[in-house]
Structure 1
């Protein structure tokens, strides 16, 4: 009869590319892994893994055992986490997803500090161009910059994030002056195609809540914000970027705000919480640390 320890071992085995990799994960020798696998196969009376090639290939029976192993492992993890939460213990595996640029600069240091403070916790940080497109149920926290998403989603705002029209001083000095939003249609504009949004329609709010909509014809566009940022620094045109991303460039004179009395819609920095882990002690502790790291806003504090 298979035990929960057998299923936990098999779950590690099936998530590995080789016996050597699973041995490293389990902190044992490869022969010990082979011996344990043979013992499990003897218990069930069938071969679970085809070991004739370099990669581990599950047999049909092995796939069945793997599916049950995953269910049991998740159930045990959930039980242990529920008991830990009852006593307020911060433990378990924290899983965080975040955008590449913001995640690298402002989330990664907090993940490192979290694991350093809470020795019973581990962490995984997944950086993605589109973190909200990922399976939210697989993560404790998904950091997102922009609209809040589905209404039934658990969301908490971490920091305000105005977006700014800007270009390099060299570009602005070499072209016609910009005195109103309508002038933008006659300028070289750079667009970021991050989702299905119509990125060629720029909406701006000005003095006394006046509004203006401008249809631009981008001279260059990309789905990578860093690329567009680099193009603006290379004097190629006007872009809209988050304050956190350009505050340093504006303070150092590499970029200059365009039409400072007119602002694009803000894109606040929010945390979307997985339903299964939204109230866990580790999620709460991590969010507390992340909020503290963003007060005062580091990109503004650096300029003061």
Structure 2
């Protein structure tokens, strides 16, 4: 592959990303006529139109989509090859693009990015937080940090932390409204609903003999923010499903109690996801290893046996 071809690939990738000839020209320190001429040379060499141009933007033709797909793969492979050869024996460097959930990314991952940057000052980190999962490949992210199952078959994943989920409520709520004895009892209780992505509203799932069962619950309070619903549970407004990561300290302090502790809910393990077809760079491997190290024993696990023993004591007293 010639140097000119490699440069053309990078030019076209940038043009496709910005969707603007003038934007690509500014980014490459070219004049707009020079950028237009460069695109024309590429199209004449290939004998095909790659973009549809208007006065304000450009869009890719089917031939342009094919060119972009191959150009992205080739440029990525060249960069991986160069890093593998020149990066041996030295600290990671280069650009690392990371995505994480909004609240968890802001409160937990962002401080870890700060620590990572101090340890590896030659790595440039672009960290974005979003309320919904992103397309890593289309968004050119190296990885995403998310709770839950693999969202895309084109991705690979590494588990960072095991994270069970539990039903819980404040002692104040349980004293006033009683403690459910069976899952079906939840339908008679005030439940706090955490709305997430496209999940069915008020449908809680649990596992029985390796099968997923569901129950429809209701309540006066719901939110798409995990911190908000947790605060409402602490204030005694109802029963909530939260992960061990969020609950552990409140259960240990007695501010929250487990409800139906033997009921098994789908877990919310923490994963780092990354594109399957792309070899990981040294900087990506370094950050993932850094995360795994930092998330070793992040909390004292919730002891479900405590609630079972307390329930048996209450029954015996009756």
Same fold (TM over 0.5): yes
Report the secondary structure of 1:5's partner residue: helix
Alpha-carbon offset, residue 120 of structure 1? 4.7
Cα pair distance change 1:67/1:150, threshold 3 Å: closer
Q: Does the CA contact (< 8 Å) of 1:154 and 1:278 recur in 2? A: no
The whole-number CA distance in structure 2 between the counterparts of 1:45 and 1:136 is 25
The whole-number CA distance in structure 1 between the counterparts of 2:43 and 2:141 is 37
Superposed CA offset, 1:270-293 (max 9, x none) = 223321235432322111111122
Superposed CA offset, 1:177-216 (max 9, x none) = 21623543321012334355796345379xxx9xxx7835
Match in the other structure for 1:104:
106
The whole-number CA distance in structure 2 between the counterparts of 1:135 and 1:41 is 27
Match in the other structure for 1:123:
125
TM-score normalised to structure 1 length = 0.70
2:34 to 25, 33, 36: 36
The whole-number CA distance in structure 2 between the counterparts of 1:20 and 1:152 is 33
Cα pair distance change 1:159/1:84, threshold 3 Å: same
Alpha-carbon offset, residue 37 of structure 1? 1.4
1:155 to 148, 154, 157: 157
Match in the other structure for 1:257:
257
Alpha-carbon offset, residue 171 of structure 1? 3.2
Structure 2 matches for 1:1-304, cutoff 5 A?
A: 3-16=5-18, 21-22=23-24, 25-26=27-28, 28=29, 32-40=30-38, 43=41, 50=53, 52=55, 55-57=56-58, 64=63, 68=67, 71-86=70-85, 87-88=87-88, 90-131=92-133, 134=135, 139-147=141-149, 154-173=156-175, 175-178=176-179, 180-182=181-183, 183-194=185-196, 195-196=198-199, 200-203=203-206, 215-219=215-219, 220-247=221-248, 255-259=255-259, 261-262=261-262, 264-265=264-265, 266-277=267-278, 279-297=280-298, 300=300
Which stretch shifts more, 230-239 or 156-165? Answer: 230-239
How many residues are treated as equivalent by the alignment?
A: 285
The whole-number CA distance in structure 1 between the counterparts of 2:113 and 2:75 is 24
Superposed CA offset, 1:109-149 (max 9, x none) = 33344445445543343434443x73568543333323457
Alpha-carbon offset, residue 264 of structure 1? 3.8
Q: Does the CA contact (< 8 Å) of 2:102 and 2:130 recur in 1? A: yes
Cα pair distance change 1:34/1:136, threshold 3 Å: closer
Unaligned runs of 5+ in 2: 302-318
Alpha-carbon offset, residue 269 of structure 1? 1.4
Report the secondary structure of 1:258's partner residue: strand
Report the secondary structure of 1:94's partner residue: strand
Cα pair distance change 1:200/1:43, threshold 3 Å: closer
Match in the other structure for 2:305:
none
Q: Does the CA contact (< 8 Å) of 1:10 and 1:66 recur in 2? A: no
Report the secondary structure of 1:203's partner residue: strand
The whole-number CA distance in structure 2 between the counterparts of 1:69 and 1:153 is 20
Unaligned runs of 5+ in 1: none
The whole-number CA distance in structure 2 between the counterparts of 1:93 and 1:295 is 26
Alpha-carbon offset, residue 256 of structure 1? 1.1
The whole-number CA distance in structure 1 between the counterparts of 2:195 and 2:247 is 18
CA root-mean-square deviation: 4.3
Cα pair distance change 1:10/1:119, threshold 3 Å: farther
